[in-house]
Amino acid sequence: MFKFAFKNMAIKKAKIVLIVISIVISACVGILAYNISEQVDSGFKTTAAYYDIIIGPSGSSTQLAMNTMFFTDKPLGTISYEYVEQLQKDTRVNKVVPFTMGDSYNGAKIVGTTADFLEGKELREGVMYSEKFECVIGSAVAEKYSLSLGSTLVTSHGLTEGGHAHEGNPLTVVGILDETKTAYDNVIFTPCETVWATHSHSDVESEEAQEVLDDEHGETADEHTHTDEDAHSHQESSDTREEHGEVCAILVKSKSFNAYSQLSAEYGENSKLLVINPSEVLREVLENVDMSTQIVYILCIIILIMNIFIISVITLLNMYDSKKEIALMRLIGIGMNKINFVYIIQNGIIGFISTILAFICSRICLALMGGYVASMGIVLDTAKIYPLEIAIMAVVFVISVLPTVVCTLNMSKKDGINE
């Protein structure tokens, strides 16, 4: 039976290929849609669950949440570090974490924050940073740029490649995070003081460079001679800026719902500030994702219906083309049940191979998409398999075999195909 089924499939390659392609496309789209939506939903909920308040400059709520939770987009701006100090003294607060961003290393974003921001994240090797210009890097950053403990990173201004290089203030890798399958894998973490020091030193360097440029254009030497007092003044200015640097956002974990409500109301009254609940903002984002997913599911259903039609037509054509073979088998005494079983086996093999290929294609697509969506703060785990994905494959397999079963049962009732 199986031998005859394979021979029959080899004779009709073109039709078989058409069936396989249609099944693979529909199953792959369905598996991808579900897998991605589940991973995005899970990632959003897990990330947003820890902090109940994020405070930043006035602007877009979504941009503030995505920037601080998933390191995407640009920061809205900066706010004074005094707000951090106020919240740290507030008895209604459990945890306060400053967050700042503005530099990068070959495109990998650098986040200035405290070690508390990485609470719950395991270190694969090394230790957590404790000093200025030390950093802990994500596993993907370490792998992509072949970095190890002790490596030095020359960062650049801006969140993309091509910015002004901070050659005088390299970072030293003291720790590497274990793989988290989240946006943390693609980021470099360092104390806020590193960011402030880097920028304040850059400002001083820029001022000095401008003074040299002015000298070259004929400014008097007396106006721009750097005395020891001037140098000391620059240093004081630099130290002041480091001590009182600004932050892009503040992540807050309050002690209770009442504390959350009071803090949100108090800081929300400040027109210069934006106060959000990350879970609420990300829930709105997920609603849009869910809507897109539903559209994909509808397209999937349409494709599956088309598959049923295509497979039914091709099955009928196969039966019609094979009517002489069937008549010959009937003539030598082979019953219709056995003949029908051959065609059911044939389409069963086609359905099984197609669903396996669809699953493989979905993993390949996840891997190819991973690099692109990582820049958006979303990390896709190709090894993540959900039970419903297996259910989708089973449904597609049944749909691929169903038309053949219907056709063969109809043939049995008519007792074969007559010439």
Predicted confidence (pLDDT) per residue in 306-325, tens digit? 766 776 676 666 666 666 66
For the segment 362-368, the average pLDDT, to the nearest whole number, is 86
The DSSP code sequence of 297-359 is HHHHHHHHHHHHHHHHHHHHHHHHHTHHHHHHHHHTT--HHHHHHHHHHHHHHHHHHHHHHHH
Q: Distance of CA 365 to CAs 119, 358, 368, 392, Å?
A: 32, 10, 5, 17
Q: What does the pLDDT read at residue 128?
A: 94
CB atoms within 10 A of CB 119: 11
Is residue 35 within 8 Å of 386, Cβ to Cβ? Answer: yes
Q: Which two tokens stand for residue 239?
A: 């130290």
Q: What does the pLDDT read at residue 369?
A: 77
Q: Is the predicted pLDDT of residue 418 greater than 70, yes or no?
A: no
| Window from 7-11, 179-183, 184-188, 201-205 with minimum mean pLDDT | 201-205
Q: What does the pLDDT read at residue 89?
A: 92
Q: Which two tokens stand for residue 329?
A: 């088998």
pLDDT band at 242 (very low <50, low <70, confident <90, very high): very low
| Window from 152-156, 253-257, 258-262, 375-379 with minimum mean pLDDT | 375-379
Q: What does the pLDDT read at residue 35?
A: 83
Q: What does the pLDDT read at residue 281?
A: 84
Q: What percentage of the chain reaches a pLDDT higher than 90?
A: 24
pLDDT band at 211 (very low <50, low <70, confident <90, very high): very low
Rounded distance between C-alpha atoms, residue 234 and residue 330, angstroms = 101
Q: Is the predicted pLDDT of residue 62 greater than 70, yes or no?
A: yes
For the segment 344-354, the average pLDDT, to the nearest whole number, is 82
Handedness of CA 259, 260, 264, 265 (dihedral sign): negative
Burial of 162 (0-12, 13-18, 19+ CB in 10 A): exposed
Q: What does the pLDDT read at residue 237?
A: 43
